[in-house]
A and B are shown apart, each in its own frame.
Chain A
Amino acid sequence: MNRRRIPEGFPWVLPSLVVLLALSIYPLIYSVKLAAADRRNFTRLFTDRLFLTASIQTIWLTLSALSIEFLLGLALALLIDSLARGRMFFRTALLIPMLLPPVVAAVAWRLIYNPQFGVLNGTLRRLGFHTADLTWTSGESSALASVILVDVWEWTPFLFLLLSAGLQAIPPEPLEAARVDGAGAWRIFRDVTLPLLKPTIVLALLLRTMDLVRIFDQIFILTQGGPGTATETVSLYIYRTAFRFSNFGYAAAMSFVLLAATLLFSRGLLRAMRAR
């Protein structure tokens, strides 16, 4: 009988589909139209030095922040997991950075980083360090690293939280079996814990990657892309192109490069993790 009828659940889903079509898919199509209006929007991508710089810096920032946050987050998760008491307290306290509005977190770090008046250099000077060369976000060579440091501070808690939950979800039996089988702590970690944790790791890295390639808020507050172009990222450059120079077509073209990069990178990460 009526095998082609509309599924019973369809009316329930319809409003959401309409809203998302209007607010995600239609803008995407609109964006294609904007970019395609002028062929030069795409040819310019290949000759634009600033776009190249921004791309390289975005990739560099993503890779380094991602790996530091992952290692630190895993270490913290293992550390807190090993504590006999106070786990709940430590876990809660460590989560606070990522919950703050990113703008507020960035403001706090501007207060900290300021080379003359900031508390960071102030404290170091008090401890007897020479701080005249420590320029943090205002030095061309140190700015990107300083931005990465803020991201590590803000988002290591995210990896810590997810990995910590992953660790707790591992059933005790395989670990006990490995101990009975004679494995030492490191071998248990490598042969049992890590493989069982892998789905969580993949998920955490994926979510973090997608956020890192679109990084905007912290840099906008901390450096606005400067000094010079030292912390320029793709998001920031797109923002400037569209809303400072009103070149919407070129901004749209660049945003497609960003979208493609996000997809490629996530896919690559998934594949790499599956292969291992």
Chain B
Amino acid sequence: MKRTRAGWYEAARKAAALVPYLAAVAAVFIALAPVYWLLTISLKREVDQFAYPPQWIGFTATLEHYRDAFAGGSFAAYFENSVLLAAISTLAALAIGVPAAYGLARFEWPRQWDHRIGDWILSTRMLPPIVTIVPLFLMLRQARLLNSLTGLAIVYTGFNLPFVVWMMRGFFEEVPKEIEEAAMLDGESRAGALLRIVLPLVRPGLAATAVFCLVVAWNEFLFALILTQTEAAMTLPVGIASRVTQYEIKWGAMSAAGVVAMIPVLVFAAAAQKYLVRGLSLGAVKG
């Protein structure tokens, strides 16, 4: 079939409309290729790991590195430490931070003290960790809490607390005050209205906040590196890092550990997707 000039024009226009999609696909490839490569290394036999040309697909897959890292090595213990630490510090930060968020969102404060306290709480989050880590190290050493999950849990709780207060305050402010007032007129006390009316309403926000705390604690590296120098309280990131800096690196086991370390984060992020923007911008942008 012969194309008319208009037909060619139409075809060119269609091709041009594809350009943005090609660019987007290229961006996704760049974003995901390193992750995929890590995954392949964790699944390859050692002979294939650094073969030339690089094998992107079609290699012989093996789970031996996962066995190595978790059954034979100490990564199972690190994993357990990380899980415990994330869970405990998140619960503690919520238990302390949620009432504060409620107090700032709901009560009358003279001379804008609610804003001043809120800003101050947020500003503690802005401190570079390296500034507080030296004194925290010395304090924990004095309290004999170095190399213990307890010590690290305390530090993480303090680290996540400003975030909890800031996020939850926003969620509380979104609940119309009248709903609570109606509950109090209906016969609830302040605490009763919070427990039975307000908390159920902010449950999605509470869950999102918890997810963010879990992810932060799970990914954290600097504090864990400095405050845990023995295997007893080593977390997954520190465990991985300690292998990287060794002379001979077992890439397979390390990649396997890395893959395992990123799975929970991705799962959590998917769960909290609706609140990702708000969480990452400390609640400043609603999303």
Question: Residues of A at under 8 Å CB distance from B?
Answer: 7-13, 15-17, 19-20, 22-28, 30-31, 34, 76, 79-80, 82-83, 86, 90, 92-97, 99-105, 107-112, 114, 116-117, 119, 122-123, 125-126, 153, 157-158, 161-162, 165-166, 169, 200, 203-204, 207, 210, 213-214, 216-217, 220-221, 224, 234-235, 238-239, 242-243, 248, 251-252, 255-256, 258-259, 262
Docked complex Cα distance between A185 and B53 (Å): 45
Shortest beta-carbon distance from B150 to chain A in Å: 14
* Interface status of B230 (Cβ within 8 A of chain A): no
- Is B131's CB under 8 angstroms from A161's CB? no
Shortest beta-carbon distance from A155 to chain B in Å: 11
Residue contacts A-B, CB under 8 angstroms, 9 given: A8-B108, A11-B103, A16-B100, A16-B161, A23-B155, A28-B127, A104-B262, A122-B54, A248-B138
Chain A residue nearest to B37 in the complex (CB): A119
Docked complex Cα distance between A160 and B84 (Å): 33
> In the assembled complex, which residues on chain A have CB atoms less than 8 Å from the CB atom of B244?
107, 110, 221
Docked complex Cα distance between A92 and B249 (Å): 33
**With A13-B104, A107-B254 given, is the CB distance from A101 to B221 under 8 Å?**
yes
Known: A28-B132, A101-B221. 12 other contacts (CB 8 A): A16-B99, A16-B165, A17-B117, A24-B132, A79-B20, A93-B31, A94-B27, A94-B28, A123-B54, A162-B277, A165-B287, A255-B131
* Interface status of B16 (Cβ within 8 A of chain A): no
- Is A210's CB under 8 angstroms from B158's CB? no
* Interface status of B41 (Cβ within 8 A of chain A): yes
> In the assembled complex, which residues on chain A have CB atoms less than 8 Å from the CB atom of B9?
none
> In the assembled complex, which residues on chain B have CB atoms less than 8 Å from the CB atom of A100?
35, 219, 262, 265
Shortest beta-carbon distance from B275 to chain A in Å: 11
Shortest beta-carbon distance from B73 to chain A in Å: 15
* Interface status of B15 (Cβ within 8 A of chain A): no
- Is A235's CB under 8 angstroms from B130's CB? yes
- Is B103's CB under 8 angstroms from A111's CB? no
- Is A95's CB under 8 angstroms from B54's CB? no
> In the assembled complex, which residues on chain A have CB atoms less than 8 Å from the CB atom of B266?
96, 99
Docked complex Cα distance between A11 and B100 (Å): 8
Docked complex Cα distance between A235 and B158 (Å): 21
Chain B residue nearest to A214 in the complex (CB): B128
- Is B241's CB under 8 angstroms from A13's CB? no
Docked complex Cα distance between A111 and B39 (Å): 11
> In the assembled complex, which residues on chain A have CB atoms less than 8 Å from the CB atom of B126?
210, 262
**With A9-B103, A103-B237, A214-B129 given, is the CB distance from A119 to B54 under 8 Å?**
yes
> In the assembled complex, which residues on chain B have CB atoms less than 8 Å from the CB atom of A256?
131
- Is A20's CB under 8 angstroms from B53's CB? no
**With A16-B97, A108-B258, A221-B244 given, is the CB distance from A99 to B269 under 8 Å?**
yes
- Is B240's CB under 8 angstroms from A103's CB? yes
* Interface status of B83 (Cβ within 8 A of chain A): no
> In the assembled complex, which residues on chain B have CB atoms less than 8 Å from the CB atom of A31?
131-132, 134-135
Docked complex Cα distance between A11 and B32 (Å): 48
Docked complex Cα distance between A145 and B108 (Å): 52
Shortest beta-carbon distance from B53 to chain A in Å: 5
Cross-chain contact of B34 among A112, A114, A165, A262 (Cβ < 8 A): A112
- Is B104's CB under 8 angstroms from A125's CB? no
**With A19-B158, A104-B261, A126-B54 given, is the CB distance from A12 to B285 under 8 Å?**
no
